[in-house]
Copies of this chain bind each other. A is one copy, B any other.
Amino acid sequence: MYYIGIDIGGMSIKGGLTNEKGEILFRHTVVTGSYTKEHTIASDLCVVVDELLKQSGISTAELCGIGVGSPGSIDSDAGIIRYSNNIPMEKVEISSPLSQKYGVPVSIANDADCAALGEQRFGGGMGKKDVILITLGTGVGSGFIIDGKLYSGRKSAGAEAGHMVIRTGGEKCNCGRRGCWERYASASGLIRQTTAVMGKYPDSLMHKIADVEGKVSGKTAFDAAKQGDKAGAKVVKQYLKYVSEGIINLANIFRPQFILIGGGISHEGDYILKPLQRSLNSLTYGAKFNPKVKLALATLGNDAGLLGAAALNM
């Protein structure tokens, strides 16, 4: 049983041929192009599929399906990319041309959703049926697995937990609202919070760390806090409060077995997991008598999306 998973990114389109255990047997990557109505991204997806079939020597008869993860708003039922902002695309057919060419089922879903599915099947959430993946990176991504199945809202147009307001009247978000979770819990948000506190604490270790690194990053405050810097600890505490607000909101609505944390910030590991788990244990609604929600790290890194895309047909 072989599967192809393809993860469309702003820079590259990464494909992998996997088995049903989620082992990636062959890989092929192409550079993301710019696409027109005539030359759509589907042609580049075919390049990836052709190469994977060639490398592996596997025929389409042995292939159970092709799965595609794409940024933007995806209509999974219709098999189209409804709209993508990152790689400019509107109403691009994917499933139909690929399934006609290869004669296998072709599925498409949002890339964050694929990452969640990948983690639930083969990564940090393996063996659990109700898993939410939160990625704390440039933005805040989210993917939901309910009862073992990907849930991305009606017509795959939901699952945008990063655009849940946690601070009415707060910072302006590029989605048009104010106070979205993404503004506060993303690495970009953390950098803004770090910079603001650094301005108030000229003696903070954070200045030295940023000088050495050449910039303020999502690690600056964490590194300073770990070395006992009070201003750094202040930033971290406030940032984790913001992260926990959204996590507990989701726990109160979905009560999953696992909430997995991925993205750049997840490299802080236990340093963030432990305080977040404490907040979750004490502040989730009816925490004493209701099933627990466990936090854990996403484990598949950059392969989560590709593996989840492959899993769309498993």
| A196-240 near B? 1/0 per residue, CB < 8 Å | 000000000000000000000000000000000000000000000
A146-B151, A176-B283 in contact; A163/B252 too (CB < 8 A)? yes
CA distance A166 to B181 in the complex (A): 10
Q: A245 touching B289 by the CB < 8 A rule?
A: no
Given contacts A73-B286, A177-B283, A286-B73, are A255 and B153 in contact (CB under 8 A)? Answer: yes
Contact with B along A241-265 (1 / 0, CB 8 A): 1100100110111111100000000
Check B286–A254 contact: CB distance below 8 A.
Answer: no
A149 to B251 CA separation, bound complex (whole angstroms): 20
Counting CB contacts under 8 A, is A158 at the interface?
A: yes
List which A75-98 residues lie within 8 A (CB) of chain B: 82-83, 90
In the complex, are the beta carbons of B73 and A158 less than 8 A apart?
Answer: no
CB within 8 Å for A155 and B255 given contacts A241-B168, A245-B168, A249-B165: yes
A59 contacts B by Cβ under 8 Å: no
User: Per a CB cutoff under 8 Å, which of B82, B254, B283 touches A290?
Assistant: B82
List the interface of chain A (C-beta within 8 A of B).
Answer: 73, 82-83, 90, 129-130, 146, 151, 153-155, 157-161, 163-168, 170, 175-177, 179, 184, 241-242, 245, 248-249, 251-257, 282-283, 285-287, 289-291
